[in-house]
Structures are given as C-alpha cells and as structure tokens.
A and B are shown apart, each in its own frame.
Chain A
Amino acid sequence: MEREEIITKLTVIFRTVFNNQSIVISNEMTANDVENWDSLTHMLLINEVENSFSIKFKLKDLLNMKNVGELIDIIKTKIS
C-alpha cells in the first residue's frame, strides 16, 4: 500500500473517531491540533487504526510516535 492510500484510509478513520468531517491530516499533525483528541479518544483511534489496517502496534511503536507522519511510517512498515 502506498503512502497516499494510507493517508486516504487514515483520513476516514480520523473523521469517524473525532466525528469531524473536515479533518485533513498532515505529517506534522499532533493531538494539539485536533479538538477532543484526549486520552480515551486516542485509545479509540489506535484501536480503529489497528482494526482497519489489520495490524498490532508494539508498545514501543505507540510510545515513540510523535505525530501523524510517524504513525503513517509505522503503518507502512507493518503492512509492507
């Protein structure tokens, strides 16, 4: 799966989880940039990403992820 395909799929996930159809994701995006991205919503997001891409993050993946760009990188590695 190419990076653009991952971004397209992630955008749908973000818009669903945050209930906001106007979200446009970017590599630099962090929780500070999205309204209601709190700890419980973060857990729902991680869960939805794992389900949609049929992957399971390692704990170190989760702890080292600093922004959406790094999330995309990890997804790309896991599905390739």
Chain B
Amino acid sequence: MTDFIFRKACLDDIPFLTETIIQAEKSGTEILSYKEIFGLQELEIRNIIKDILLEEIDGCELSVSSFLIAESNGVTAGAIASWIEGHFGSSSSFLKANLLSYYLPKSSIEKASGINHIINELNIDHLKDSFQLGLVYISNVFRGMNLVSKMINHQITEFKLIRPEINEMYVQVFGNNIPAIKTYQKSNFEIILKKEVSNKEILNYLPCNEKLLMKKNII
C-alpha cells in the first residue's frame, strides 16, 4: 500500500499546479477552454497561469494557497484546489476574472466577447460561505488508490477548523467527465443541478455542453 502525505502547496509546486489546472480544464478531452475562448496557444496559457499563481492571491482556483498536494516518497502524486467561497471578501469567480483580465492580452478578451452569450449559459455561481472543490488532478501512476477522496476529506477537516458552521462542499464538473463524476459520487457527492447548452457551437470552446453541480453534505 502506498503511503501519502498531504501538505499545502507552495511556490515550488507551480509547475505541477499549472499541469493540474491545464488537465482539469481539459476534463479528459483535448479541448482547453482557455486556449479556445481566448485564442492563445497552450504554451502561452501555461505561462499566464504561472504568472497568475506567482501573484499569490488567495481565494480562487488560481491561488497557490487553494491547493493541497499529495506526495508519496517525495514524488508529487496529485493536487486538488479548494477554497471557502467568499472567505476573503470577493467571489472566487471575480478574483479569477480579475487575474485573467490583468494578464491576458486585450485581443484575447475581445475575441471572447463574440462567444460570451454562449459560454455564460453554462455558468453556475458558487454559493457564498460554502466549501468549493475546483480542480483535481492525479498523476497516472497514482490513480485508482482512492487518493481524491482522501484529499477531499483531509481538506474538509482543515476547512472545518476555520469555518465549523459550514456543512456542504460543492464541485462543478462537465457532464462528459464520467470518471470524475464517479469519483465524486464515491466521496458522497450527489448531482443537484444539470445545465445544458443546446447550441453545439459551445463544443468548439468547452469540453462539453453540459455542466453538473454536485454537493456533498458534511456531517
């Protein structure tokens, strides 16, 4: 049996966190939403994500402090991003939007304006004062070891020390990502909302035209 240690991410983890963000955004496909929506190459997106992570802004999925790392014998096995929504005052979505606004070229943001009406149909707001699970990535060799559940439980324990009154965690997942959905169900998340966009053009920009909101009640 493989032993893991869990620790908060630090700046040295940024290459692995960047990979986590890229792979989680792809949701098991080759569609990287940042690349398609903003018309940039994957390498450019990776560099922007690294710059954003270096800002160390707390409270969203692009914050180093949101990441929990799992390690086995000094090897990074996986990472999850989670946070307490609104804990630092601003919503995670707007923190992320402000970071991207600052770092993306203006031409990329202008490109996105033409498809905003399609993309925002799939938007699901994050509930203030709830635990949010944002991004999950486990390296191939460490999959099938129930690592995600262990990391989620570890993170919930940490969050409960800060906000004991919060009793729910949410995760948003694309409908095509069956392995992720099953993993979350094993961790007692239940699907509570489905959003679907009928305009198939959205598949040019996102991995799937369906998004699910899953909820875990914490006892």
Residues of chain A whose beta carbon lies under 8 Å from any beta carbon of chain B: 31, 36, 38-44, 46-47, 50-51, 57, 59, 62-63, 66
Tell me if A59 and B55 are in contact (CB < 8 A).
yes
Docked complex Cα distance between A47 and B90 (Å)? 19
Tell me if B101 and A47 are in contact (CB < 8 A).
yes
Asked if B127 CB lies within 8 Å of chain A CBs, one says no
Asked if B3 CB lies within 8 Å of chain A CBs, one says no
Note all chain A residues with C-beta closer than 8 A to B37. Answer: 40
Docked complex Cα distance between A59 and B116 (Å)? 23
Tell me if A39 and B112 are in contact (CB < 8 A).
no
Chain A nearest CB from B66 CB (Å) reads: 15
> Among the interface residues A39, A44, A57, A63, which one has the most CB atoms of the partner chain B within 10 A?
A39
With beta carbons under 8 angstroms apart, the residue of B90, B94, B102 that contacts A59 is B102
Note all chain B residues with C-beta closer than 8 A to A47. Answer: 101, 106, 109-110, 113
With beta carbons under 8 angstroms apart, the residue of A31, A40, A51, A66 that contacts B120 is A40
The number of A-B residue pairs with CB atoms under 8 Å apart is: 60
Tell me if B112 and A40 are in contact (CB < 8 A).
yes
Tell me if B101 and A42 are in contact (CB < 8 A).
yes
Tell me if B101 and A46 are in contact (CB < 8 A).
yes
Interface size on B, residues (CB 8 A): 27
Note all chain A residues with C-beta closer than 8 A to B89. Answer: 66
Instruction: Decide if the interface of chain A is mainly helix, strand, loop or mixed.
Output: helix
List B residues 72-108 near A (Cβ within 8 Å).
Answer: 89-91, 93-102, 104, 106
Chain B nearest CB from A65 CB (Å) reads: 8
With beta carbons under 8 angstroms apart, the residue of A42, A57, A66 that contacts B102 is A57
A59-B98, A62-B98 known; A39 and B116 CB under 8 Å?
no
A31-B94, A39-B94 known; A44 and B109 CB under 8 Å?
yes
Note all chain B residues with C-beta closer than 8 A to A66. Answer: 89
> Among the interface residues A40, A46, A51, which one has the most CB atoms of the partner chain B within 10 A?
A40
Tell me if B95 and A63 are in contact (CB < 8 A).
yes
With beta carbons under 8 angstroms apart, the residue of B55, B90, B98 that contacts A46 is B98
Closest 8 CB pairs of A and B: A39-B97, A62-B98, A39-B93, A42-B97, A47-B109, A38-B123, A46-B101, A59-B102
Docked complex Cα distance between A46 and B109 (Å)? 10
> Among the interface residues A43, A46, A57, which one has the most CB atoms of the partner chain B within 10 A?
A43
Docked complex Cα distance between A44 and B93 (Å)? 14
Note all chain A residues with C-beta closer than 8 A to B95. Answer: 63
Tell me if B90 and A36 are in contact (CB < 8 A).
no
